[in-house]
Structure 1
Amino acid sequence: MLVNDMYKKILENLGTAVVLLDNQLFIQYMNPAAEMLLAASARQLSRRDIAEWFGTDADQVEGLRHSLRSGHPFTRREAKLRNQSEQMLTVDYTVNPLPMQQENWLLLEIEARDRLIRIEREEELLTRHASAQMLVRGLAHEIKNPLGGLRGAAQLLERELDDISLHDYTQVIIEEADRLRNLVDRMLGPRKLPDINDVNIHAILERVCSLVAAESGGSVELIRDYDPSIPEFRGDAEQLIQAVLNIVRNSMQALQTSHTQNPSIKLHTRTMRQITLGTEKHRLVCCVRIEDNGPGIPEELLSQVFYPMVSGRADGTGLGLSIAQSILNQHHGLIECDTRPGRTLFELFIPLELNHESVR
């Protein structure tokens, strides 16, 4: 009895989800880690068919049945499961047949992969953005030096020209040099350190809404879904306004140029707990979701939208999202994007405190 109690205590304290299925693929036991993963108690799922988790994925259910018949274990990587909250999960699971009274039962060990996949994706995103910024800074240095010399030479030449009508040509050189310098400065993003003060995220969003409403002339519906309990945090309000405005303005322009029926942009705020951004785990994070019902971002551009000079519009500079990502990085946060026809979603994650821990 003592041994059985010890085994039960071990199972109940495992971080890996463990589920026991009978020969009909009904759930007979699940440990607390499995209850948390599947968003349901063992009592709720008792005698429930495992096929409900896999939805229409008959191959996974057939794999379990084959293991029952053959007695052979197997492992599946990055499989899709659906928990009781209708949330799709990415998991690795191992199936081991257990002989029970002349018939096989199945022991499933399930490990959630979503968090690790998210860490890898965000780390890659941050690395790629940092690499792009380094490249831009190198190019900026190489471009701005000759531009300065070109501008200075044009000014000296203008002074030596007796014919006033020729000054138009030197002015073209000077103005184009200034335009290129300003473009390079915009590519570099904000160069000053953030002016850190207490910031209210909803004040920032309302400022952006007022600007976009004025620009769009009321042609785009702005929908708010705010969580008023989100506390203030330390940040640079002006830079955050710029970051959010760049994203919302992009959405507005996409809606207008695509002539979307009933165009709308939804701004949604919530807090999230124990969220990993890149390699750092934060206890509390503010999540701002900016969602529009436009045509979506072309698939070939999706992985590059945060690079400088990448734009889906013929008249776009491709700097708005790159600058927004730089600003969020300065606030220890990041921006993610998901899109499909009829829906584009940007998620801004901003830590509400800086007492974070490394996940490594």
Structure 2
Amino acid sequence: MTQPPIETTQLYAHITEQLTTAIMLLDTQLRIRYFNTACCAVLSLGEKRLSEQYFPELFQHIDITAAHFHSALNSKQGFGVSDVQAVLADGRHLLLDISVTISENPSEHLLLEIRHVDQQRKISLESLQQHQHLAARELIRGLAHEIKNPLGGLRGAAQLLEESLPDDLKEYTQLIIAQADRLRNLVDRLLGPYKPAQRVSSNLHQMIEQVRQLALMDNHGLVQFNRDYDPSIPDFPFDPELLQQALLNIVRNAQYALEQTEHAVISLQSRVLHQHTLHGKRYKLVALVRVIDNGPGIPNEIKDTLFYPMVSGKAGGTGLGLSIAQTLIHQHGGWIDCDSWPGHTEFTLYLPIADTED
């Protein structure tokens, strides 16, 4: 195949430089042979860092592996992947849409189109999670009503029956009563706390420290806890008891995930965001609390339903901890986000501090 004239090649380069989409050309060894200016912006990397680089080495982790690219080359078939998690060498996390096309002009190359979709996806995900959460809560409340009424009747009938039975048969009615109580307690846990949030002006870091101390009691020296707090976060109204329960549920999940991890570390961080939007409302200040662990990561099959009741990565777990945590954070007008890949799981709690903008 003949090579296009230099003028045509220069025209192609001129056109791609005008695009906001990142365009990258990889050879069959997956080395970068061309990239436009948008690549530097999307990946926040300089030209020297990108030039002639082996593409997979740009990342600590990326959902698309070298095998995917080689398979595309062998089959001469391109592919596209949405919501690709990528972690750059410096630890920055990106969410990307990547489209791969096989180009044979003038020689065989992989043409990558890369779009940075973090902010758009986070807004969409927050809205989706909010609607899913509210729908799940309504479903649970309806089921709880349908379950608790007959359970109460069953338990009462067993108590009446027990009064007329000889002692050697009462163990059966006691078993019925015990199982009815167990089911009622499970339904109550599904519903979460009854009381509304009692907000008083409180110190966020004192609450986090209380959670850390509680976690250390069950730690037995297995997990190292690192603290990285932003001292500029002011006191603001929240319910310390409810937030403590939400954060403790997340920290204990992290401890469980780290049971088989050497040099296990949980990092507790706090940060503040300015002019941030939560649930469609813009706040002057929003506090972030992050729980980061270096465990194996969340299994792909439960990532999308992580905050649903009865979804758990634990053997024998009830799957209520994260669902309850999300409910408690929603009571404060916030929400919980999660990013996870092998070696890194990060839960972020968003909590409004200042009033909404007028």
TM-score relative to the length of structure 1:
0.70
User: Residue in 1 aligned with 2:139?
Assistant: 135
User: Residue in 1 aligned with 2:351?
Assistant: 350
Amino acid at match of 1:276: T
1:270-289 to 2 correspondences below 5 Å:
270-289=271-290
- Residue 94 of structure 2 contacts residue 118 of structure 2 at CA under 8 Å; is this kept in 1? no
Shift of 1:229: 1.3
Secondary structure of the residue aligned to 2:347 is strand
Give the count of matched residue pairs.
Answer: 282
Q: Distance in 2 between matches of 1:310 and 1:192?
A: 24
Amino acid at match of 1:266: S
The change in CA–CA distance for 1:79 and 1:319 in structure 2 (over 3 A counts) is closer
- Residue 245 of structure 2 contacts residue 325 of structure 2 at CA under 8 Å; is this kept in 1? yes
The change in CA–CA distance for 1:276 and 1:166 in structure 2 (over 3 A counts) is same
Q: Distance in 2 between matches of 1:249 and 1:222?
A: 12
Question: Is 1:120 the equivalent of 2:108?
Answer: no
Amino acid at match of 1:208: V
1:1-40 to 2 correspondences below 5 Å:
none
Question: Which of 235, 240, 244 is residue 241 of structure 1 equivalent to?
Answer: 244
Amino acid at match of 1:255: L
Q: Distance in 2 between matches of 1:156 and 1:89?
A: 61
Shift of 1:199: 1.7
The change in CA–CA distance for 1:57 and 1:332 in structure 2 (over 3 A counts) is farther
Shift of 1:52: 3.3
Question: Which of 190, 194, 198 is residue 191 of structure 1 equivalent to?
Answer: 194
- Residue 272 of structure 2 contacts residue 288 of structure 2 at CA under 8 Å; is this kept in 1? yes
Question: Which of 141, 153, 156 is residue 152 of structure 1 equivalent to?
Answer: 156
- Residue 272 of structure 2 contacts residue 285 of structure 2 at CA under 8 Å; is this kept in 1? yes
User: Residue in 1 aligned with 2:41?
Assistant: 53
Q: Distance in 2 between matches of 1:79 and 1:324?
A: 25
Report percent identity of matched pairs: 47
Secondary structure of the residue aligned to 1:216 is coil
The change in CA–CA distance for 1:270 and 1:140 in structure 2 (over 3 A counts) is same
The change in CA–CA distance for 1:237 and 1:87 in structure 2 (over 3 A counts) is closer
Higher gyration radius (CA) = 1
Shift of 1:87: 7.8
C-alpha distance after superposition, 1:75-130 (max 9, x if no partner): xxx999xxxx9785879xxxxxxxxxxxxxxxxxxx98644432211000111111
- Residue 120 of structure 1 contacts residue 278 of structure 1 at CA under 8 Å; is this kept in 2? no
Question: Which of 197, 210, 213 is residue 210 of structure 1 equivalent to?
Answer: 213
Where in structure 2 are there 5+ consecutive unaligned residues? 1-10, 21-35, 44-49, 53-81, 85-89, 98-114
Question: Which of 222, 225, 246 is residue 222 of structure 1 equivalent to?
Answer: 225
C-alpha distance after superposition, 1:137-167 (max 9, x if no partner): 1111111001000000011001111x11211
The change in CA–CA distance for 1:333 and 1:218 in structure 2 (over 3 A counts) is same
- Residue 269 of structure 1 contacts residue 286 of structure 1 at CA under 8 Å; is this kept in 2? yes
Q: Distance in 1 between matches of 2:303 and 2:119?
A: 21
Q: Distance in 1 between matches of 2:293 and 2:347?
A: 9
- Residue 83 of structure 2 contacts residue 117 of structure 2 at CA under 8 Å; is this kept in 1? no
User: Residue in 2 aligned with 1:165?
Assistant: 168
